[in-house]
Amino acid sequence: MRLAGFAARVACAVSPLLPIPGVAAENAAVDLDWKTRFVGEAHSPREDSVFAAGLPLTSFGRDRARLEQEARGRVGPVSLLATGTVSGQEGARPSRKLLVNEAYIDSGSGENRISAGKKILSGDVGYGFRPIDVIQREARLQVLPPALEGVPNATLGRFSAETAYSIVIANPGHGRGSDPRDDGSLALRYYRRAGGADLHGVARFSDRFRVETGTAMSAVPHESLELHASFLVQRRGERQVPLAEPASPGDLLTPDRAVETQTLGSAKKALAGFTWTWESGWSFIGETWWDGTAPTAADWRRLASQARQRGALAGAPGVPAEAVAGSLAASTRLFQLPGLSRRAALAHLAWTDPAGGGWTAALDVLRTLEDGGYSATAAAGWEGNRWRLDAGLRRSGGSPDSAYRLLPERGLAFVGISVAF
Amino acid sequence: MFEFRRPLRRWIFFATALLLAVPARAADVKTLLKEADAFRLSGESVRVDTEVRVLKSGSLDKTRLYAVYVKPGRRSLVVFRSSSERGQKMLMLGDDFWLVVPTSQRPLRITPMQKLLGDASTGDVASLTWAEDYDGRVEGEAEIDGVPCLKLDIAGQRRGVSYPRIVLYLAKSDRRPVHAELYVASDKLAKQAAFKFGDVDGRKLVTLMVLTDHLWRERTTEVHYLSRSAKTLPDHYYNPAFLARADIENR
């Protein structure tokens, strides 16, 4: 009920901004569904990692768990998603967080619609990579991820049976944030049904990327086959790279310089993929993509080389061990990027129990084509009337100095248990 | 010459009769299907609140709630209302299908085959008419549970149908659906359907459809039609881009 009370305050705060007759009267009730979820992850560190000396300062290789309480539904006219999380990590004190993931009002009359508040604004057609998801910038291929956090926005849209236009003011009043999804931006989104195909378009204006324009399509030419593709051009791009060469010992030991931002004149991202579904409950997704803002194979080789140089500095006269550890830890920030390779291919094989027993299984293999790395995930799940169980394993590896071979973890085992009320 | 003309005339006669008879028979089947549909839907644009109970070996395994908004032109919007599925929506526009899951809030294009997967196939919940999607022929007559029936063998006329072939038994007396055998694309018998009726606002309507899984024999699905009400959503509610909006759940 604390969440409901909070949501009501949000509703009160937001509703005067949207003087739409009838909205409050139409949606007077509190209607929330609750879900409790436990997620546990056991991580296997890579003992021979070149970053080993810095890993105690990071979360790599540490087992962790979290308990989430999720409320989803409506409080008066406000659509609400809120999560309370207690999380713990090996070697750290438990922490608590209350997050309003979404709190927004959708309303309007006829074909003209408005939205205001904090709302998930995912877009695009891909599974493993989404070039035109330029507003939400949803992280992909995570295991049992927490609920997405919406983007503060005001949106004006016009919908007909076949087309939709919307103007989205995201993070109003913000300039450039620490993360691109926190940047203030203005976007125009377009959707059209053309025959049997879906066409999507987006143009986004922000200080960081100037103009981003993209398009995507998906179509189902056969009862078992879905095809999709997506393409984005950024007028100005950014990518994270290791410290530029040549680097002095002083540079190598400066944590803030371990990973630098490189500005690109322009950048492109592209995706092509398909889904094939069998009557027996099996489905297969194949995708390949290009991400001009992701690190290159040469970047990973340089990161590994610099890690070895930092390691070699340990024990040298006048070099504190903390400085080596700090700079090594800082250099692992490159692994936190949403994509670790410019060219990648994904195979996703999934099975749904055709007998309706609620069982599912999936195998994902992500291959980074430039450097020969891979990440493989096997997962199984069961869903009952209210309970859902998930469990799986992830393993990373590949060619020496490939991104997934350098990753300071060999893999992880995960389990998730949720119950809905 | 005379000997040649007689068979030719006879051939022309039979060919003409056949050409005339085929559309007539097809029209009869369409009429029969429309009459049967009238026992499933109370109007052209309706909201049907549905409860699905999945039973395994006779005991209740799962319960799911759906609100289905049907509109002419083979348009169906399914809003998932159970707590474990809250926020999910599925849209069917002719042969095209989209799914929105709450974790992402974007319309995801799915294949007709994908809509058959999952607990209670949403295709079973969302498809409430036969006349728009099927055509076929009257195979003969049969008695089902003591009810004299017409036996129809009908085939899907579009690729988006859940079951490409149905053998349907309609009561001879009033054309109400009594029994159906539902075949998947490989022509395997997937499910058998039985229908129960109730008095709804003075009309005899299907209140329960019991689907017995033929491939997984221990599984039975009961589709309870809790209520039907006239409801016409504007056309833009059936736009996939509109699915991520909360307006739908406010209806």
Q: What is the mean pLDDT of residues A247-255?
A: 90
Predicted local distance difference test score (pLDDT) of residue A240:
94
Size of interface A-B (CB pairs under 8 A): 150
Give, as one character, the DSSP assignment of residue A149.
P
Predicted local distance difference test score (pLDDT) of residue B113:
81
> pLDDT tens across A20-53, in order?
333 333 445 888 899 999 999 999 999 899 999 9
Nearest CA distance, B187 vs chain A (angstrom): 11
Q: Which residue of chain A has the CA closest to B63?
A: A385
Q: Which residues of A touch B106 (CB under 8 A)?
A: 122-124
How far is residue A405's CA from residue A41's CA, in Å, rounded to a whole number? Answer: 20
Q: Six-digit token pair at A317?
A: 């006269």
Q: Do B184 and A279 touch (CB under 8 A)?
A: yes
**R_g of chain B computed on alpha carbons:** 21
> pLDDT tens across A187-243, in order?
999 999 998 899 999 999 999 999 999 999 999 998 889 999 999 999 999 999 999
For residue A14, what pLDDT band results from cuts at 50, 70 and 90? very low
How far is residue A333's CA from residue A320's CA, in Å, rounded to a whole number? Answer: 21
Q: Which residues of B touch A225 (CB under 8 A)?
A: 111
Cis upstream peptide for A246 (omega within 30°): yes
Nearest CA distance, A224 vs chain B (angstrom): 6
Predicted local distance difference test score (pLDDT) of residue A223:
85
Q: Which residues lie closer than 8 Å to A166 by C-beta, 6 or more apart? A: A155, A156, A157, A158, A188, A189
Q: Six-digit token pair at B243?
A: 């699915």
pLDDT: which is higher, A5 or A150: A150
Predicted local distance difference test score (pLDDT) of residue A11:
37
What are the E-state strand segments in A307-384?
343-352, 359-368, 373-383
Please tell me the least confidently modeled range out of A192-206, A280-294, B53-67: B53-67
Predicted local distance difference test score (pLDDT) of residue B204:
92
Predicted local distance difference test score (pLDDT) of residue B143:
93
For residue B7, what pLDDT band results from cuts at 50, 70 and 90? low
Predicted local distance difference test score (pLDDT) of residue B31:
93
> pLDDT tens across A313-344, in order?
888 888 898 999 999 999 999 999 999 999 99
The percent of residues above 70 in pLDDT, for chain A, comes to 93
Domains within chain B, CATH numbers bracketed: 37-72+120-231 (2.50.20.10)
Q: Which residue of chain B has the CA closest to A279?
A: B113
- Could you tell me if B170 and B148 are in contact, meaning their C-beta atoms sit under 8 angstroms apart? no
Nearest CA distance, B80 vs chain A (angstrom): 13
Please tell me the least confidently modeled range out of A3-7, A40-44, A223-227, A299-303: A3-7
Which residue of A107, A160, A225 is in closest CB contact with B111?
A225
Q: Which residue of chain A has the CA closest to B233?
A: A110
Nearest CA distance, B183 vs chain A (angstrom): 12
Q: Which residues of A touch B246 (CB under 8 A)?
A: 74, 79, 104-106
For residue B158, what pLDDT band results from cuts at 50, 70 and 90? confident
Give the position of tokens 């993070």.
A171
For residue B247, what pLDDT band results from cuts at 50, 70 and 90? confident
For the cut 90, the answer to whether the pLDDT of residue A385 exceeds it is no
For residue A306, what pLDDT band results from cuts at 50, 70 and 90? very high
Helix, strand, coil share of chain B (percent; to 5): 25, 45, 30
Give, as one character, the DSSP assignment of residue A255.
G
For the cut 80, the answer to whether the pLDDT of residue B177 exceeds it is yes
Which secondary-structure segment (H or E) carries A153?
Answer: strand A151-159
Which residue of A105, A124, A281 is in closest CB contact with B117?
A281
Between CA A338 and CA A342, with CA A340 as vertex, the angle to 5 degrees is 110
Please tell me the least confidently modeled range out of A150-159, A268-277, B241-250: B241-250
Predicted local distance difference test score (pLDDT) of residue A122:
92
Q: Which residue of chain B has the CA closest to A112?
A: B236
Give the position of tokens 């029969």.
B32
For residue B121, what pLDDT band results from cuts at 50, 70 and 90? low
Nearest CA distance, A421 vs chain B (angstrom): 6
What A262-266 contacts at long range (C-beta under 8 Å, 24+ apart), as own/partner pairs, is A262/A238, A263/A236, A263/A237, A263/A238, A264/A234, A264/A236, A264/A237, A264/A238, A264/A239, A264/A292, A264/A293, A265/A236, A265/A237, A266/A233, A266/A234, A266/A235, A266/A236, A266/A237
Q: What is the ipTM of this complex?
A: 0.85
Q: Do B86 and A228 touch (CB under 8 A)?
A: no
Q: Which residues of B touch A107 (CB under 8 A)?
A: 247
Residue A93, SS3?
A: coil
Predicted local distance difference test score (pLDDT) of residue B21:
45
Q: Do B109 and A123 touch (CB under 8 A)?
A: no
